[in-house]
Structure 1
Amino acid sequence: MEITGKIKVINETQTLGDKGFKKREVVITTEENYPQSILIEFTRDKCELLETYSVGQEVKININIRGREWINPKGEAIYFNTIQGWRIEPLIGQAPAFSSLPKPEEVDLMDDDDGDLPF
C-alpha cells in the first residue's frame, strides 16, 4: 500500500528499551476533499530514510499496516494498529503517462509506406 501527501511533521529518532530499538515518526497530510493527517512510523534502519526529507515536501510512502493484541491487567484484550513505512520517495513533477505511444520495439524504423521522406 502507499500514501501520498505533504510532510507536516518529522520527529527525531527515538531509541527505546534495553536492546536499542529505534523508531522515527512522520506525519503526512493527504491532499483530498477531507485531508487527513496520518502518523507513519519508520523503525530500525528505515529511520535513516527520513534524513533527506523536510517539512512541506510532497512524498509517496510505501506502508504496511500492523496490528497487535495486548491483554490489560483486568484481562481485557485491547488492540493497536500501526502504520509502518518502509520506503519514501519525493513527488517531483511526475511525468505524464503516455500509454498511447507505441513501445520502442513496436516501431519499425525501416517501414516506408508512402515512399515520402520527411526532408
Structure 2
Amino acid sequence: MSFDVTGKLVEKFDEQQVNDTFKKREFVIEVSSYNNASTYTDFLKFQLVQDKCALIDNFGVGSSVKVHFNLKGRKWEKDGNTMYFNMLDAWRIENNTDQVSNSFDDGIVVPENEDVPF
C-alpha cells in the first residue's frame, strides 16, 4: 500500500547496520491536522532501508517535506507470544512545494464598524 504525507522534518537518525545484509535509517516528521478549531500534532517515524538510506541526506531539520511511503506490518512470535509491528517504509522524499499560506487576500475590505453576523 502506497501513501504520501507532508510535514516538517524534526529529526534524522544515523544509519544502522542491522546485520551483514540489512541496513536502515530512521527519521521523524511532524504532521498537524485540524478538527473543530483544534490542532492535533503527530510525530511520525519512517524508515529508509538499503539503498534508500541516503534519501534524507539533502534535507535539514525544519524542512517541509513530502514523504512517499509503503505501510508494512510484521508478525513476530517468541516463547508462545505473538506480537505485531507496523513500519512506514519511505521510498521517496521531496521538498514540499504545496505549502499553505497563512496570509489573507489583500483584496478583501472589511468595514471597521460592521458587526459580525453571529
What interval of TM-score do these two structures reach, taking the shorter chain for normalisation? 0.7 to 0.9
- Tell me the residue number matched to 2:81: 76
User: What do the CA deviations read for 1:58-108 (whole angstroms, capped 9, x no partner)?
Assistant: 0000011110111111x12111111110000011366xxxxxxxxxxxxxx
- Tell me the residue number matched to 2:63: 57
Report the TM-score when normalising by structure 2.
0.73
- Tell me the residue number matched to 1:101: none
Equivalent runs, 1:5-84 vs 2, <5 Å: 5-19=7-21, 21-32=22-33, 33-73=39-79, 75-84=80-89
Moved >2 Å (runs of 4+) = none
One-letter amino acid of the structure 2 residue matched with residue 42 of structure 1: L
If you compute each CA radius of gyration, which structure gives the higher value, 1 or 2?
1
Pairwise CA RMSD of aligned residues? 1.2
| Cα distance between partner residues in 1 of 2:92 and 2:20 | 27
How many residues are aligned here?
92
Structure 1, gaps ≥5 residues long: 95-119
| Cα distance between partner residues in 2 of 1:3 and 1:18 | 32
